[in-house]
Structure 1
Amino acid sequence: MKILYSFTVLYVLTISFLHAQSNYKQGYVVNMNNDTLKGFIDYKEWSNNPTGINFKAGNGNSPQRYTPLNTKAFAVNNLEYYERFIVQVSKSHVELSDLSSELDTTYSIDTVFLKSIVLGKRISLYSFTDKIKTRFYVLDNSSDQVRELKYFLCLNDETNTIKEFSGYRPQLLRFAANYQPGNLKISRLINESSYSEKKLTDIFVAINGYNNKLVVHDNMSGKRFFAGVAVRSSKLTFSGANVVFPDGTQKNSFSPVLSTGIDILTNKNTKTLFLRFELELAANHFNFPKTPSSWSDIYHSLDFKQYTVAVIPQVVYNFYSTDNLKVFVDLGFSINFSAYNNYGYITTYSNSVSINNKYPEFERTYISFPLKVGVLLNKHFEIYGSYWLSSSVTNYIQFSGGLSAYQAGVNYMFGK
């Protein structure tokens, strides 16, 4: 429990540290006088739409704060674009635990930055995310009106199901009838669509016409695959009562490690904080030679092999980041599935030998906690070192066998 608590605290501190860091990228701000100010914007991994940004005219200048009250638009060059609008913001929830049995259509009128997804000749698509949910908005360029695409959920107490109110479909069907009359393909696309950025983007591109000039901003989320090799130094330590070996008896094992995995990127442009799921294959060989017991002329020995497949979810944070160099810390836990050879615990007497097969019995499934630091070079080569906290691989009252490890490795990151 202490390890889990520490992991939680470290994760929270990592998030806090993330929001405190600066990451200035080239961009521009459009002020209320329609003046375009070029400079640098402190680019964050905005899980919610920003309520304000820090902007510097040059690297040596002090940052200034720009909000929807004094800014019409801003952009981080080639990455993200936001515009200021006064809009209705629905207040209904979409998380199952927060749903009510009555349809909630309440809203507030707010001045916010909307994130641009599709800038079209006829209609444009925007999004707004806060702590409640993500909403999508349509701008009708013929009238300059911005409206939320309606989508509500509520509980049906009688059938214990969720009722869905997809008001965005008739809204989009009206635009399709106006700009693409008689196009049954678009109508079918709308009627079968979900309330998601990808599906709505396809619809907006179709309504605007594929031949018309469009600016489509990529989805910020993404994924990245990797594979690697490493070398591991593992240490098995017996502690407790002198049953198997004296307290503190330990041996090391050196072995290669193969790994592969996927990174789930919140923002594929910054790659500052993301989730990693890794699969590792490793083997250990521990040889405890004849060790004197507390009884004279009696010796114990143990020689066994362990083969492990590990599934390792992790949180990775790049606390220093440039285009060609990133320095990161990595926290996670490993779910280990192990198999063992047909080993035996050998007791040697003055004139005889006894073998206790499969003793001590080692755990086939156990949890361990790796802590990792490393660097990413030229976007593809990751070099790291890690320490695995000691985890018990036995389940006895009188004694325990604790397994810890050091590891150094190289991963190759595929893609951009």
Structure 2
Amino acid sequence: MKYILLFTALLCPFYALSQANYHKGSITITNDKVLIGYIDYHEWTINPESIHFKTSLDDKKSDIYYPASIQSFTVDGLDGYLSYKGSISMNKTNFPDLPVAKDTSSKEASFFLRMIVKGNNVALLSYTDGLKTRFFIQEKSEQPYELGFQRYYAGSNTDIKLDNRYLGQLADLIARYAQSNVGMLEKVQTTAYTEDDIEGIVNMINGTTKANRAKRTTDNGLSSLRFFAGAGFSVASSTFHREPNFENGSGTTTTPQVNFGLDIFTNPVVQKFLFRLEAGLSYINPVIKNQQALTTLSLLPYTLTSTYTYNQYNLRITPQFIYNLYNANSLKVYIDAGLIVNVSKYTNQSYVTFTTLSADYRITPATVNYPPYKLEDTWISYSFQSGVVFNKRIELFLNYMIPSSYLTYQGGYSLQTAYYNAGVHYFFGHH
């Protein structure tokens, strides 16, 4: 573990560097003037409060724009946001943290609304903060307004009431823009307050399909999946405890390993966070030795030597979460943590004790070969990893696997292995 911490400490200076991720885009300022340049685009799980803009990538400094100072901004092929000055609801809607009655509280300010659908009749937008996600409708070029939705307790924590005002608002839009579609009014009554459901209704109001959706990060040709394969080596330190405070021993094995898997990006453009599913094959054959100087009941000195050996063939399945501390196109520096499901097979298991008495006593030494212990075929462990990715193709990594026992419990006996892994991955595909 100390090597992983040291490696991570060495990478920390990268974190202090700029985390800019500029993409080509434009902003429309308040007098309808359009500025073409580059926008610092991030993985906005909540709507941005401001943006950084450069007219050229060579500019050392960027200009900061807030919702009150521009009309809108667009990151080409990725995202679009509209400035909105008005009120947003502040009632809680996420179960079980609900108000005990209707909550009509609101907040007045300027915000960036994310553009989901921009149609001939209406546009669908959203605003997400730490409280919840709200959906907005904009008719033509008019001021956007929020689709109302409330969920609250009425009398007890088991009696939940819904105020689906947004259903009436959508029905009113249908009456104005899509009277001929008689099936829509029935469909709208089963529309949930979710992006996919409301988007479907808005597309029908506009007479379009989902293919006409506003450009998002999933439409830019980049895949959300990335496959990789790699190899490396493993230094495994195995420790066996036969009885508490009586007989402890350890042995180290250095062996090659291979691994492969896939990465799933929450945002394939930004690539700040990702989920990794990795499989790896490894092998260890430790020789665990221990020597103790003891005496018999008659105070005769002797030495007890124990040797425990076995072969372990291990398949590791590791789901893990990765966070890029430094996240440029040509260089990424990350840390991750994961849970490991180990599937193991064992051969040549042997536990031998050898008693050596002092030469002065001429007593025949005794050798005892204990029967094999029950080792777990499936067991769980945990890992931490740091790494560097060069040009989106080559990854160098260090990994530490926390010791976990895989000896079936037998009154104080334990067998566990700590793994220190290092290696290289190669990434495939368009990412």
Uncovered stretches (5+) of structure 2, i.e. residues with no partner = 295-301, 356-363
| 1:131–1:152 distance in 2 versus 1, CA, 3 Å | same
Per the alignment, residue 236 of structure 1 pairs with: 237
Contact 1:363 1:393 in 2 (8 A): no
Q: How far apart in 2 are the matches of 1:351 and 1:122?
A: 95
Aligned equivalents of 2:118 and 2:281: distance in 1?
50
Superposed CA offset, 1:199-233 (max 9, x none): 32222222111289956232669842534343331
Which whole-Å CA distance do the structure 2 matches of 1:93 and 1:133 have between them? 7
- Are 1:302 and 2:317 matched, yes or no? no
**Cα distance, 1:281 vs structure 2:** 3.8
Over the matched positions of the two proteins, sequence identity in percent amounts to 19
Which of 338, 350, 358 is matched with 1:344 structurally?
350
Distance 1:175 1:19 in 2: 49
1:46 aligns with 2:61: no
Q: Is the 8 A contact 1:286 1:305 kept in 2?
A: yes
CA deviations on 1:152-173 (whole Å, 9 max, x unpaired) are: 2113454715433322222112
User: C-alpha displacement at 1:415, in angstroms?
Assistant: 5.6
- 8 Å Cα contact 2:388-2:397 kept in structure 1: yes
Residue 62 of structure 1 aligns with an amino acid whose one-letter code is: K
Per the alignment, in what secondary structure is the counterpart of residue 391 of structure 1?
strand
Separation in structure 1 between the aligned mates of residue 186 and residue 265 of structure 2, nearest angstrom = 32
Aligned to 1:354: 368
TM-score, normalised by the number of residues in structure 1: 0.81
1:290, distance to aligned residue in structure 2 (A)? 6.7
Question: Residue 130 of structure 2 aligns to which amino acid in structure 1?
Answer: K
State the alpha-carbon separation in 2 of the partners of residues 46 and 413 from structure 1: 26
- Deviating more after overlay: 52-61 vs 281-290: 281-290
CA distance in 1: counterparts of 2:157 and 2:413, whole angstroms: 54
Q: How does 1:13-412 map to 2 (within 5 A)?
A: 21-58=19-56, 59-60=58-59, 62-141=61-140, 144-158=142-156, 160-210=158-208, 214=212, 216-218=214-216, 223-238=224-239, 243-246=246-249, 249-265=250-266, 267-271=267-271, 273-288=272-287, 292-294=291-293, 296=302, 298-306=304-312, 307-317=314-324, 319-322=326-329, 325-341=330-346, 343-349=349-355, 353-359=367-373, 365-375=379-389, 377=391, 379=392, 381-393=393-405, 401-412=416-427
Which SS does the other structure have where 2:286 is aligned? strand
Q: Over aligned residue pairs, what C-alpha RMSD do you find? A: 3.7
**What letter is aligned with 2:352?**
I
- Higher relative contact order, chain-length normalized (CA < 8 Å, sep 6+): 2
How far 1:362 sits from its partner (Å)?
Answer: 6.8
How far apart, in 2, do the equivalents of 1:85 and 1:27 lie?
19
1:228 partner amino acid:
A
Measured in 1, the distance between the counterparts of 2:127 and 2:186 equals 26
- Larger mean CA deviation between 126-135 and 104-113 belongs to 104-113
* Aligned mates of 2:353, 2:209 — CA distance in 1: 82
- Contact 2:252-2:286 at 8 Å conserved across structures: yes
CA-to-aligned-CA distance 1:165-214 (integer Å, 9 cap, x gap): 32222211221222222324433443333222223222222211128995
Which whole-Å deviations, capped at 9, do the CAs of 1:56-103 have from their partners, x for residues lacking one? 223225322211222111222222211112233000112324212212
1:284-328, Cα deviation, whole Å (9 max, x unpaired): 322317765546565422222333433332232161412xx3423
Take 1:158 and 1:211, find their aligned partners in 2: how far apart are those partners? 42
Q: Which amino acid aligns with 2:106?
A: Y
Please tell me whether Structure 1 or Structure 2 has the larger radius of gyration of its CA atoms.
2
CA contact (8 A) 1:138 1:146 kept: yes
SS at match of 2:144: strand
> Aligned in 2, Cα 1:188/1:224: closer, same or farther, shift over 3 Å?
farther
Amino acid at match of 1:147: Y
**What are the superposed Cα offsets for residues 380-401 of structure 1, whole Å, 9 maximum, x if unpaired?**
x342322215424368869874
Query: Bigger shift: 300-309 or 172-181?
Result: 300-309
Aligned partners of 1:289 and 1:73: how far apart in 2?
67
Separation in structure 2 between the aligned mates of residue 290 and residue 129 of structure 1, nearest angstrom: 60
- 1-side partners of 2:210 and 2:353: how far apart? 83
Contact 1:72 1:83 survives alignment (8 Å): yes
Alpha-carbon spacing, 1:157–1:144, altered in 2? closer, same or farther (3 Å): same
Q: Structure 1 residues 19, 185: closer, same or farther in 2, change over 3 A?
A: farther
Q: Which whole-Å CA distance do the structure 2 matches of 1:280 and 1:110 have between them?
A: 49
State the secondary structure of the residue aligned to 2:59. coil
CA distance in 1, matches of 2:129, 2:39: 21
Contact 1:226-1:260 at 8 Å conserved across structures:
yes
Which one-letter code corresponds to 1:344 in the other structure?
A: S
Distance 1:225 1:169, change over 3 A: farther
- Tell me the distance in 2 between the aligned counterparts of 1:111 and 1:19: 30
